[in-house]
Amino acid sequence: MLLQDKVALITGAASGIGRATAQLFSSQGAKVAVADIDDSGAAETVRNIRRSSGEAFSIQADVGRMDSVEAMVGSALDRYGRLDIVHSNAAAYVLGTASETSEADWDRTLDVCLKATWMIARCALPPMVAQDGGTFIITGSVHSIRGYSLHAAYQASKGGLLALTRSLAADYAPSVRVNAILPGAVETGLWKGLSPADRLKIKQMCPLRRNGQPEDIAQAALFLASDMSAYMTGSYLVVDGGLSSIIEMPEWLWSRLKS
């Protein structure tokens, strides 16, 4: 029970990494505020937690808007009286180069992926400092540290999150620890539309030869939320099965070198 009697607020918790994290945190003793723009999905996460005798409630929130973020944090504080763990995890995703990305898509991606974390921090960190501290976790991506084509807006937002992690860690230490998780290829709702063949190709790019599951990232979030990471702040964990650690040799080059 690594999070016994702790209160956690998790965004993007209607599915994927957020849902897996909410359920794992509950199993470790936390009360969980489940936030997402998808109200029905968030309610399903709450039902899953309550079926396992956990304590949770859902908040419908659009983390791309300040008024919604303020209301979300206020609801969690009103319900539980404190915040010990905040996991900023919501994401938006649009494929395209800089010249192919519309201004609306750029703005929405950065609002949900980057600006949202600043807004959540602005609202949640002061009450966390005023109590006896806590932990703030940010879901970044391997896009934060590596270049990938056709991801201009998403990659800009994820790179910004890593810089923001360091800034928040410096500003709110020693009361609050701030760390990031950088997932690799994790099968979530953002993968809708990918064929089995596409998923297989992505899997083969990874040294561990499998795509990540939301539960893999939830375990990393548990580590950062608990006292197991008590001497960590301003850091990031890469959880990508080795994806970002290697340079894959193209098959045509490998064939030529073998001949």
> Cβ atoms within 10 A of the Cβ of 97, count?
11
Q: How far apart are CA 140 and CA 161, in angstroms?
A: 6
> Out of 154, 172, 231, 236, which one is annotated catalytic?
154
User: Is 93 known to be catalytic?
Assistant: no
DSSP readout, the chain?
A: -TTTT-EEEEESTTSHHHHHHHHHHHHTT-EEEEEES-HHHHHHHHHHHHHTT--EEEEE--TTSHHHHHHHHHHHHHHHS--SEEEE-------B-TTTS-HHHHHHHHIIIIIHHHHHHHHHHHHHHHTT-EEEEEE--GGGTS--TTBHHHHHHHHHHHHHHHHHHHHHTTTEEEEEEEE-SB-SGGGTT--HHHHHHHHHTSTT-S-B-HHHHHHHHHHHHSGGGTT--S-EEEESTTGGG--PPPHHHHHHHH-
Report the catalytic residues: 154
